[in-house]
Amino acid sequence: MYYYKELIEMTLKKLGKKYVSDDAISLIYETAVTESGNFKYLKQTGKGPALGFTQLEPDTIDDVWNNFICHRQELMVVFCELGYNKYAKKQKNYYIPTNLALQIAFT
């Protein structure tokens, strides 16, 4: 997908310098390619709950938020700027597949 690697890098920079590396960019990109069938699926096929190109499961999103991000004020601010708010938390089936930056940040 054209521009996706650049979007990954921009998103990681928003999270903070320590999150940006060629390895991190490559890992997220390759995860998205593999999990989405080369950017074909935004939702897990069959009955699975996974969402977005990186196939994030809602329970995993909640775990990352509750046990990592919410203990880091600077990350909470960035995730809110990326669109993760009280509405997104309750409606992950809409907000995660439609927001590439959030998918990247949670990956």
Contact in structure between 5 and 102 (CB atoms under 8 Å): no
Q: For position 70, what pLDDT does the model report?
A: 94
Using CA atoms, how far apart are residues 70 and 47, in angstroms rounded to an integer?
30
pTM of the model: 0.93
Instruction: Find the mean pLDDT for residues 51-66.
Output: 96
- Both tokens assigned to 101: 């930056």
DSSP 45: S
Is residue 1 predicted with pLDDT exceeding 90? no
Contact partners, residue 75, CB within 8 Å, separation at least 6: 15, 16, 68, 69
